[in-house]
Chains A and B, each alone.
Chain A
Amino acid sequence: MEKVLTDFVKALRNSNVRVSPAETIDAVSVIDSVGYEDKELLKRTLSIVLSKTPDEKDKFNACFDDFFSDEIKQQDSVDMDQLSDIKDVDSDLAKKLLEGSQGELMLSIADAAEEAEIREIRYFTQRSVFTRRILEKMGVGKLEDELMQLGSSREDELPSDLEQELRNQLTNLRERVSDYVQQQFLLHGDVSGEQLREQIFKSMNMAQIDRSYLNEVHSLVRKMAKKLANLHSRRKKNFKKGKLDIRKTIRDNWVNQGILFNLSWAYKKVDRPKIYVICDVSGSVGAYARFMLMFLFSLTEVVSKLRGFVFSSNLGEVTNDFKDAKLDEAIEKALQKHGGGSTDYGQALTDFVSLCLDEIDNKTTVVILGDARNNFGPEKAHLMKTIKERSKQVFWLNPEGKYRWDTGDSVMTKYSAYCTKVFQCGNIDQLERVVSTLLKTAI
């Protein structure tokens, strides 16, 4: 029976419920005491052992119902003796359908499925293909030919008992195979299609992601941001002042004969970076800015101070919009207010310097997202130099491929001279890498 359970666990994992081997072992020992007889009890029990968030519980319930739904329908088969013309059919499948037991039939379905390489099933669209393939392997083609013959050779209008019975059995067989494929799909396939979608989104150029997928991308981005936040949130420094931790001090100083020599302080300080982001939201780069802002504002847990600015020609701050409103609305608002115009990096840098140069200190990281296409205007690279000197580091993220830098009106090299690092940042995978570097080095 353990095979059933491991198969079920596999199906669960496929529908995005994370089940560890240890939890599977728990489930086995639970089933030892609970048993398989009572389905409701089994469901409640496994739900407690295997699914660990409300969200997972929903998925668990759906998956359980799917997985344990297939009760073999026992049909009353026609008495074989009545079918006098049974000798008329000679294909294996027909004989199996008419004479074989349910178990044998299931076995031959499984064999045919094995031959059809059902393990390779990945996407739900493949279900009908596999169903057909399995039926073919079982010899449905031949059976259908025979049915045609039976049909054409009959003299009266009514089909014979044999033909009727065969047709019924064939319909049943089709149903059963399609159930079987569905079950195998739960086991082997990417049930929700989520993994596939995520993979595609991650490697797709951000500007080409359709707006209708924004919600899904958003949840993906949030997932990635959370991963990064977990990775970087534990950096703590001991305070050098504040409340004395007497217990710890006494404990630590036993080695000094109880003379309190090394002091310990009660509080630890979590070191969080300050990040200023400047996003170009003019025409072509706007789509990238959307994801950049999305990513960064999902990171507020680990970043103590995050300020966002957007510009096409004049620079405007959007920090508060992002804090209060929902992210989608905030992005729309920012793009509407500041986006779309012709780009002027010189003006934007001037605005930025006059707005908050004083606040930039050696803990601040400045991130600039843009393609550095300045419409042949004055680039004012010396402002970049000022920013670089005051801040800890300056990152430039360019969504364009490297081969396009410095072509046309792009002045990337002029700016990159004053950047700590320059990244190409065209898809979400690259974006994640950049933000990870950012958090690693920003403290």
Chain B
Amino acid sequence: MTDGPKKIIKDITKGFAKHGYICSEQIATAVYLASELEKPILIEGPPGVGKTELANTAALYFKKEMIRLQCYEGLDESKALYEWRYGKQLLYTQILKEQMQEVLEGAKGLKESLDRLMKFEDIFFSEDFLETRPLLEALTSEKGSVLLIDEVDKSDEEFEALLLEILSEFQISIPELGVRKADIKPLVVLTSNNSREIGDALKRRCLHLYIPFPDAKLERQIVQARVPEISESMQIQLVNFVQGIRELDLKKLPAISETIDWAKTVILLNSEELDAKLAEDTLNVLLKHQQDIEVVKKEIPALVSSATETSDGKSLN
């Protein structure tokens, strides 16, 4: 053992931070395990907590090619795995017909014709006519890759079954050509918003990481990394405010991405201090439902006062 796992995990945390992704220890551990065990990693969590971003950053960190497959209802193997170039194949048969004349010229009897036909090289189903799609591409990538299968929960259950072979064996069986196996196993990241329960068979093959909303400390670090131009007091106030909103009963809670957007908005407006008016004016950056906005509007004064209070002196650890 050259490096202890603790050191590697620390390195990952640092390396990710360099690319602007602040991760908790849990996330860093998951990335470490995924690369160590060469197992796919399934990430769940509310939207906007940085699931997809994690894969992007991992690709940057490991200096590998990033291949992304966005899932949706009706996604099937011809769009995810591979496809034959039907047009070319049709043309090929046309050429073949013409060639056939030469091949069979002078052949006597059915048997001889058949023999000649058998000897004739057939490339109808061959790599030449194979169109690779993301999954096959990730397996055949020469330098290794990070394969992001985004929002698996949006795809059909049949598609999940299709993934099983790839995720456990890192291979794809193409009936006409045989098994294609990965030389360098890609780092596979699957994300899910839990709009439907993922099957046990798939879960069993993956490591499982749940990313919750971050705590105040982590969120401050993230805002700091993403919007470095913000003043420290403002940043603390914003994060406290958002943390306060997450306590309320809303349709869609604001995620990290919304906090970052909000911080950028505040910078744009050149505001120095968080007050009720500013909060009310920019609330639509944070919240995406009219009902939610109305609920929060009533709470603004209390939220603002508690957010600014905690930032003066009394630290939140």
| Chain A interface (Cβ < 8 Å from any Cβ of B) | 18, 20, 22-23, 26, 29-30, 33-35, 38, 40-41, 44-45, 47-49, 51-54, 57, 233-234, 247-248, 250-251, 258
Contacts and interface: CB of A to CB of B under 8 A. Distances in A.
Q: Which 6 A-B pairs have the closest CB atoms?
A: A52-B208, A52-B203, A44-B29, A48-B207, A250-B86, A48-B30
A33 B157 CA distance: 34
Interface stretch (B32-40, B141-149, B258-266, B303-311): B32-40
B175 to A, nearest CB: 11
B53 interface: no
B90 interface: yes
A313 B33 CA distance: 64
25 contacts: A18-B200, A26-B207, A29-B37, A30-B37, A33-B1, A33-B36, A38-B6, A41-B6, A44-B25, A45-B29, A47-B26, A48-B29, A48-B30, A48-B41, A48-B207, A48-B209, A49-B33, A49-B207, A49-B208, A52-B204, A52-B208, A54-B212, A233-B157, A234-B157, A247-B78
A251 B129 CA distance: 13
Nearest to A234: B157
A54 B207 CA distance: 13
A34 B5 contact: yes
Interface string B33-76: 10011010110100000000000000000000000000000000
B33 A251 contact: no
B159 interface: no
Given A23-B204, A29-B37, 12 more contacts: A22-B204, A26-B39, A30-B33, A41-B6, A48-B207, A49-B33, A53-B208, A54-B44, A233-B157, A247-B78, A247-B86, A250-B90
Contacts, number: 64
Contacts of A20: 204
Nearest to B78: A247
Contacts of A57: 210
Nearest to A38: B6
Interface string B72-107: 000000100001101000100100000000000000
A35 B36 CA distance: 14
A18 B197 CA distance: 15
B204 A45 contact: no
Contacts of B206: 52
Contacts of A248: 78
Interface string B282-297: 0000000000000000
Contacts of B209: 48
Nearest to B84: A251
A247 B207 CA distance: 36
Contacts of A30: 33, 36-37
- The residue among A30, A48, A251 with the most chain B CB atoms within 10 A of its own CB is A48
B83 A247 contact: yes
A248 B39 CA distance: 33
A57 B44 CA distance: 12
Contacts of B157: 233-234
- The residue among A20, A38, A52 with the most chain B CB atoms within 10 A of its own CB is A52
| Binding site secondary structure of chain B | helix
B78 A258 contact: no
Contact of A258 (B5, B37, B93): B93
A26 B5 CA distance: 16
A233 B156 CA distance: 12
A52 B198 CA distance: 10
A219 to B, nearest CB: 15
A45 B41 CA distance: 13
A26 B41 CA distance: 13
Nearest to B198: A52
Nearest to B26: A44
Given A38-B6, A234-B157, A247-B78, A48 B204 contact: no
A293 to B, nearest CB: 23
A1 B207 CA distance: 22
Contacts of B30: 48
A148 B61 CA distance: 71
Contacts of B9: 41
Contacts of B37: 26, 29-30
B207 A258 contact: no
A14 to B, nearest CB: 19
B88 to A, nearest CB: 12
A30 B36 CA distance: 9
Contacts of B42: 52
B32 to A, nearest CB: 9
A41 B5 contact: yes
Contacts of B26: 44, 47-48
B188 to A, nearest CB: 15
Interface string B186-208: 00000000000000100110111
B33 A48 contact: yes
Nearest to A47: B26
Nearest to B29: A44
A248 B84 CA distance: 11
Nearest to A257: B93
B130 to A, nearest CB: 13
Contacts of A48: 26, 29-30, 33, 41, 207-209
A239 to B, nearest CB: 13
A33 B42 CA distance: 21
Contacts of A18: 200
A183 to B, nearest CB: 26
Interface string B1-40: 1000110010000000000000001100110010011010
B274 to A, nearest CB: 32
Interface in B221-235: none
Interface string B218-251: 0000000000000000000000000000000000
Nearest to A22: B204
Nearest to A249: B86
A30 B39 CA distance: 11
A54 to B, nearest CB: 5
A287 to B, nearest CB: 30
B86 A251 contact: yes
Nearest to B45: A54
B134 to A, nearest CB: 17
